Structure 1
Amino acid sequence: MPGIFLPDDDATAALGATLAAELQPGDLVLLQGDLGAGKTALARAIIRSLAGDPELDVPSPTFALVQPYDTPRGAVLHADLYRLGDPREVDELGLLDNPAAIVLVEWAERAPEIVAAATLVVSLAIPQGGAGRQVTVTVGR
């Protein structure tokens, strides 16, 4: 799915649903992009789709670092490593502890072992002019 343009929130939600439908237990998805690129919005859309609840409260895990969800598709972890002080701290978060969990990680570049374990990488960018988002999806390992 390379080179996807998302003009608005509805397109982001639709991409989130498409990605969620393809995710399998054990998948580790990296959400990459600058601040404001839409990583959390896309994660929210994926989680809501996995949960089957379009109104599910999905807060940003910026301060908690990890938000867990129980969904009909199994355990889902949403992590934001932006505030990670040291890459070794990632072990304490338990992101790789449940081999059946679907894990979504923002700012994964702060923990090389997470990057190495990725099964899917979603890169989001703000196009020139600031309208919409440009997305590239690549398969990891």
Structure 2
Amino acid sequence: MAAEGMLLTSESEEETARIAAALAQCVFEQTPEGLVIALHGDLGAGKTAFARGFVYAMGTPESTAVTSPTFTLLNPYEQGRMPLFHYDLYRLADAEELTLAGADEPLDGRSGAALVEWPQRAAELLPVDRLEITLAHQSPEQPNLRAVRFAALGPRSAAVLNALQTQWNSNRP
């Protein structure tokens, strides 16, 4: 299946969180069993800010700290509308390390939503039907400007992306 795509821009961490919150609503409505969301981007691109906006929009209390699980691999959030699993695979050498840690089970995309930072470190464990998001700095003159590129790689992720595009376009002035 060809990937369906969408491009948004963000000028702040708050705007990145709003984009993520809109996506969280669409994931909840379109795939109540969950979805794997692969978050790509260089260090400092906004992956954790995106994850924070997503986690809070799913109903996790804002008093709960949402940080990158760089040293623990996985932060679960189960207080919201569906179970959420936030991975940071930056320190992994390969997918086997994740499997040996026993943290690969929620990556089926049907146990809740999984947000995976640095997904290329365990790409073979990700389901084919997933949403790929790339956050990228746009300009040295505008350090807060980010491109947020979405690619849907299957029917479930395409339904979510189509819902996001409809929602985003209907909320524009």
User: Structure 2-normalised TM-score?
Assistant: 0.74
1:65, 1:80 within 8 Å by CA — same for their partners in 2? yes
2:147 equivalent to 1:134? yes
Aligned partner of 1:41 in structure 2 is 49
1:59 Cα deviation from its structure 2 partner:
1.7
Q: How many residues align?
A: 141
The gaps in structure 2 that reach 5 residues or longer are 155-173
**Which of these residues, 111, 114, 118, is aligned with residue 100 of structure 1?**
111
User: Secondary structure in 2 aligned to 1:121?
Assistant: strand
1:119 aligns to 2:130 (yes or no): yes
Question: Using a 3 Å threshold, how does the CA distance of structure 1 residues 41 and 128 change in structure 2: closer, same or farther?
Answer: same
Matching residue of 1:66: 74
What is the DSSP-based 3-state SS (H/G/I as helix, E as strand, rest coil) of the residue aligned with 1:56? coil
Q: Return the letter of the residue paired with 2:135.
A: L
TM-score normalized with structure 1 length:
0.89
Residue 157 of structure 2 corresponds to which residue in structure 1? Answer: none
Change (3 A) 1:67 1:37: same
Q: Which residue of 1 aligns with 2:64?
A: 56
Which residue is 1:80 aligned to? 88
**Displacement after TM superposition at 1:84 (Å):** 1.1
8 Å Cα contact 2:60-2:77 kept in structure 1: no
Q: 2: CA distance between counterparts of 1:99 and 1:131?
A: 34
Of 9, 19, 25, which aligns to 1:15?
19
Moved more, 9-18 or 46-55: 46-55
Rounded to whole Å, the distance in 1 between the matches of 2:17 and 2:82 is 20
Residue 108 (structure 1) shift: 0.5
Point out the structure with max Rg over C-alpha. Answer: 2
Q: Once the two structures are superposed, what CA deviation does each residue of 1:63-117 show, in whole Å capped at 9, x if it has no partner?
A: 1100001133221100001111332122221333683211000000011223444
Call closer, same or farther: CA 1:19–1:98 in 2, change over 3 Å.
closer
**AA paired with 1:114?**
L
